[in-house]
Amino acid sequence: MRPGQGSLAGRLALLLVLAVVGAQAAAFVMFTRESSLVGRAAARTQVVDRVAILVRLLETVPPDAVPGVIEAYGSPRHRFTIDTASLVPDNAMDADEARLARRLDRRMRDGASQARLLLVERDPDRQPGASSDRLAARPQVLRVSVRLDDGRWLNGEAPLALSTPPWIRIGLIQVAASVVAVLVVTGIAMRGIVGPVQALARAAESAGRGVAVEPLPERGPRELRTMTAAFNLMQARSRAFVSDRTRMLAAISHDLRTPIASLWLRAEMVEDADLRGAMVRTIADMRDMVEATLAFARDDALGQDDAPFDLAGLLAAIVDEHRLLGHDVTLSAPDVLPFHGRATALRRAFDNLVANAVRYGGCARIVLEHRDDGVVGTIDDEGPGIPSERIEEMFAPFTRLDDSRSVETGGVGLGLAIARSGIRAHGGEIALRNREGRGLRVEVTLPASAARRRAGDSTVADGSGLGTSRGS
């Protein structure tokens, strides 16, 4: 399977998961940013309120109690000292920090401009006038300086970085739960979509191999029901069309038997021996063509259900029959090659190919192999081959090469057409190509699925009925 050719359920589930995760991630980022801003604002407010309370408290205690109050009021996150100089330089505040300083002033002395605030990064020094928005996403420290009544400065410093709040973990759990819910819902929904689609695909594949397919139940979404109904209608029309044409062909071929027999009798009464021989040969060719056409139509009309059989045994039986007739035929194949299909159709196809190789090439060298991608059979002969430009033409019914495959050598031009029809009915393909030097190679490929369907079955029917001996 090539990349990007996953199942419908897998693709839909992946798209939905990506959509949910993307939407949740975007919402999570926005919420995190807004929560961070709100948290930092709350932390600044907390520091401002703490400083305001401390200043008011210092105004009410004796001077000798100030160091104790400062030490008691501090914490691991908040550090306060009383110094002679301000921790915040002059003119270092930007507009936002100035507004926060005025707010602190109002909390302490009703508007006296004695407070200074500065937001700085945790490690590097911040340049005066830098925008606080630019630092909103970085670890920050709030430095506060308040001028006391005695001229000294109360300096404080508190980090604004908060510990990871629990709602972040809750958000991650929510994303995971959403993904699981999407997968569960997709799996339930896909049962009503993927099932009918897979059934339709299997039916189409079987119909393409010529297997009779029962009408499919129309279920699933409206579009899928419409498609299934169209497929059922197409199958019914196709079967009716093929059946009508096959019956017509069989009827015509059958009806031609009587006039051909009559012509044969009349030809035997001709006194001129040369003329009588020519007429009999022509009538014999007509009879062979009619018999071959009738046999082909009859086999196609009767059909055959798929069943397990031994493909290697089938070819061995064909080889034995041709050897009994004195033909030079050899076979190289596994002892057993389980296969699932229509033994009669494949037997007829391979028998025609071997007969052609013997008739026009003098011999047939058969090699049967089981590969990962399927079954491959080759039939080589030592004949004159076929002109490359006429190879495809040879698969047309009643087509023969005038020079090497004439009427005198036998055959009515249906062998390759019948062979390709039987092989394609199994999802396979047949190809002809001239060998280097002399001879023609016929290569037959059959799908791996049919060969593997019964690969593990210990009981395999012998499709030939004549044993499984191997030629060499």
- Give DSSP secondary structure letters for 398-459: T---TTTS-GGG---S-HHHHHHHHHHTTT-EEEEEEPSSS-EEEEEEEEHHHHHTTTT-S-
Shared domain check, 364 and 249? no
Residue 182 placed within a domain: no
Residue 88 placed within a domain: yes
Shared domain check, 110 and 32? yes
Report the amino acid identity of residue 253. S
Shared domain check, 310 and 298? no
**Torsional sign, CA 398, 301, 352, 209:** positive
Residues with Cβ within 8 Å of 88's Cβ and at least 6 positions away in sequence, in order, are 116, 117, 118, 143, 144, 145
Contact 446, 337 (CB under 8 A): no
Cα gap 472→470, rounded to integer Å: 7
Shared domain check, 335 and 282? no
The secondary structure of 286-310 as a DSSP string is HHHHHHHHHHHHHHHHH----EEEE
What per-residue confidence (pLDDT) applies to 404? 41
Report the amino acid identity of residue 176. A
Find residue 378's DSSP bridge partners: 367, 443
> Taking the chain (472 residues) in consecutive chunks of 10 residues, what is each chunk's mean pLDDT?
55 76 75 69 75 80 82 79 84 78 72 65 44 46 82 82 60 76 74 75 73 77 83 82 72 77 84 84 79 66 70 93 92 91 87 90 92 89 86 76 48 75 84 88 83 45 38 40
Residue 2 placed within a domain: no
- Using left for φ > 0, alpha for ψ between -120 and 50, and beta otherwise, residue 437 falls in left
Shared domain check, 112 and 54? yes
- Using left for φ > 0, alpha for ψ between -120 and 50, and beta otherwise, residue 180 falls in alpha
Total domain count, the chain: 3
Shared domain check, 453 and 309? yes
Residues 328, 333, 336, 341, Cα dihedral to 10°:
-80
Residue 109 placed within a domain: yes
Shared domain check, 213 and 263? yes
Residue 201 placed within a domain: no
What per-residue confidence (pLDDT) applies to 36? 66
Query: 410 lies in which domain range?
Result: 305-472
CB-based burial, 372-404: b 16+ in 10 Å, e otherwise: eebbebbbbbbbbbbeeeebeebeebeebbeee
Q: What is the pTM of this model?
A: 0.49
Residue 104 placed within a domain: yes
**How many residues in the chain?**
472
Shared domain check, 294 and 231? yes
Interhelix angle 415-424/343-361, rounded to 10 degrees, is: 140
Domain ends where: 303, 337, 367?
303
Residue 225 placed within a domain: yes
Shared domain check, 323 and 287? no
Interhelix angle 273-302/222-268, rounded to 10 degrees, is: 160
Shared domain check, 141 and 13? yes
Contact 423, 434 (CB under 8 A): no
Say which CATH number the domain at 444 has.
3.30.565.10
Domain ends where: 285, 303, 321?
303
Shared domain check, 212 and 122? no
Shared domain check, 292 and 240? yes
Say which CATH number the domain at 271 has.
1.10.287.130
Find residue 120's DSSP bridge partners: 141
